[in-house]
Amino acid sequence: MLSVNEAIDALLGDSKRLVKHETIDLIDASGRTLAGNIIAPIDVPPADNSAMDGYAIRFADGSDPQSGITLSQRVTAGSVAGELEPATAARIFTGAEVPTGADTVVMQEHCEEAGGAVRILKLPEQGANIRRRGQDLSTGQKVLSKGQRLRSQDLGLAASLGISRVGVYRRLKVAVMSTGDELREPGDDLQPGQIYNSNRYMMKSQLAAWGFDIVDMGVARDDPEAVRQMMIQAASEADVVITSGGVSVGEEDHVKDVVASLGAIDLWRIAVKPGKPFAFGQVCGKPFIGLPGNPVSVFVTLLVIARPYLFACQGVSDTAVHAVRQIALFDKKGSQREDYLRVRATANGVELFPNQSSGVLFSTSWGDGLVRQSVGRDIQTGNLVDYLPYAVFN
């Protein structure tokens, strides 16, 4: 059996970026993946500016609190400052450009203004309260990296550099399909032997949250030709095809035969729980991922095993997630597989959902993350464990 890390590494080793780049408006780039480094085209700030509301002076002029300094100009944010005349001060406001000649800004609380002059009651150090040109960023510096997914602060940073258009990778198109004659859509009536299709909703929602474009194929009947037709269409429309169900060894599972006939399929034995079975291959030249049928297994394998691969296909450079340490409030025997326990964080540690069966989707909804239990390692109350809040998979 492959360990979880071996499975992830094998998938990543087989991955390549599947999407070309396109140039889009910065304001639309949230969550998108950068197709190239962003280099600062300007200094930030572009000129020395005042960090305070106050008075800009030559330091040497401010030593005597008794003598007022004549005010020669007034500089507001956005206005253009002239050179500071000798032995004068400029009224200045936060963010305004410091006039040439001035080397210090005195905050207004330490000044007294009267009759067109200002008295400096408390002189700061020379150079105080000035934000220097380029102190945030200097021209030519790399600020954002190819393969990075853009967050709100990254958009803000790019905007601060005057960048209005960015090169990103086109959104990865992921075809989602389920198989199973027993599956009904929510809203329909359930007949004996049928269950509602929860995987479609969960998978679509999660893949869309990751920024992928979804090609929703719906449900294929348990019939080789129906599965075959749907698979060909999915491969023609999407970059990657993902199914849930249909890849176990049971004779009613047609997916693996169809994928094998249209490309190749490997059934992987991964030491993960929940998670069996997992299949990887290709169909009509497109990567194929076959997730299990049980909803919790789908959820866990999608987050833990498929996610890094899909992000790699999207051109994301760092696909790892980082666990944090938490105190276990439960006992759990280790098993022969790496176990992803559904838990909930409290002020004292993480609680275990009582029923860890892979059919119990409520366990994922009840909690806020997973505890990763290593192969063969027992967990006892009070142990530090590896906790993965669902948010880290975003």
Which of 22, 159, 223, 229 is in the footprint of a second copy by CB under 8 A? 159
Does the bond joining 192 to the residue before it have cis omega, within 30 degrees of 0?
no
In angstroms, what is the minimal distance from the CB of 14 to a second copy? 25
Nearer to a second copy, 88 or 326 (CB): 326
Residue 285: CB minimum distance to a second copy, A: 29
Shortest Å distance, C-beta 24 to a second copy: 13
Cα separation, 389 vs 322, in Å, equals 10
Residue 83 as a binder of a second copy (CB under 8 A): the answer is no
The number of residues that bind a second copy (CB under 8 A) is: 102
Note whether 357 binds a second copy by CB under 8 A.
yes
Q: How far apart are CA 143 and CA 169, in angstroms?
A: 18
Residue 377 tokens, joined: 């390692």
Nearer to a second copy, 271 or 361 (CB): 361
Residue 116 touching a second copy (CB under 8 A): no
Binding a second copy by CB under 8 A: which of 69, 326, 328, 340?
Answer: 326
Q: Does position 354 bind a second copy by CB under 8 A?
A: no
* Binding of residue 79 to a second copy (CB under 8 A): yes
Residue 202 sits in the site that holds a second copy (CB under 8 A): yes
The distance of closest approach from Cβ of residue 391 to a second copy in the complex, given in angstroms and rounded to an integer, is 4
Query: What secondary structure, in 3-state letters, does the chain show?
Result: CECHHHHHHHHHHCCCCCCCEEEEEHHHCCCCEECCCEECCCCECCCCEECCCEEEECHHHHCCCCCCEEEEEEECCCCCCCCCCCCEEEEECCCCECCCCCCEEEEHHHEEEECCEEEECCCCCCCCCEECCCCCECCCCEEECCCCECCHHHHHHHHHCCCCEEEEECCCEEEEEEECCCEECCCCCCCCCCEECHHHHHHHHHHHHCCCEEEEEEEECCCHHHHHHHHHHHHHHCCEEEEECCCCCCCCCCHHHHHHHHEEEEEECECEECCCCEEEEEECCEEEEEECCCHHHHHHHHHHHHHHHHHHHHCCCCCCCCCEEEEECCCECCCCCEEEEEEEECCCCEEECCCCCCCCCHHHHHCCEEEEECCCCCECCCCEEEEEEHHHHC
Stretch of 10-18, 22-30, 229-237, 372-380 contacting a second copy, by CB under 8 A: 22-30
Indicate the residue among 19 and 183 with the shorter CB distance to a second copy: 183
- Single-letter amino acid code for the residue at 320: A
Instruction: Name the segment binding a second copy (CB under 8 A); options: 61-69, 168-176, 223-231, 246-254.
Output: 246-254
Residue among 243, 223, 215 at smallest CA distance from 306:
243
Closer by beta carbon to a second copy, 222 or else 338: 222
Q: Does 73 bind a second copy (CB under 8 A)?
A: no
Task: Tell me: does residue 124 bind a second copy (CB under 8 A).
Answer: no
- Interface with a second copy by CB under 8 A: which range of 111-119, 158-166, 268-276, 370-378? 158-166
Nearer to a second copy, 161 or 168 (CB): 161
Site for a second copy in 254-283 (CB under 8 A): none
For a second copy, give the closer residue by CB, 87 or 324: 324
Nearer to a second copy, 11 or 137 (CB): 137
5 binds a second copy (CB under 8 A): no
For a second copy, the closer CB: 32 or 286: 32
Q: 305 to 324, contacts with a second copy by CB under 8 A?
A: 322, 324
33 belongs to the binding site for a second copy (CB under 8 A): no
Rounded distance, CA 260 to CA 376, Å? Answer: 34
- Which window, 57-65, 179-187, 257-265, 307-315, contacts a second copy (CB under 8 A)? 179-187
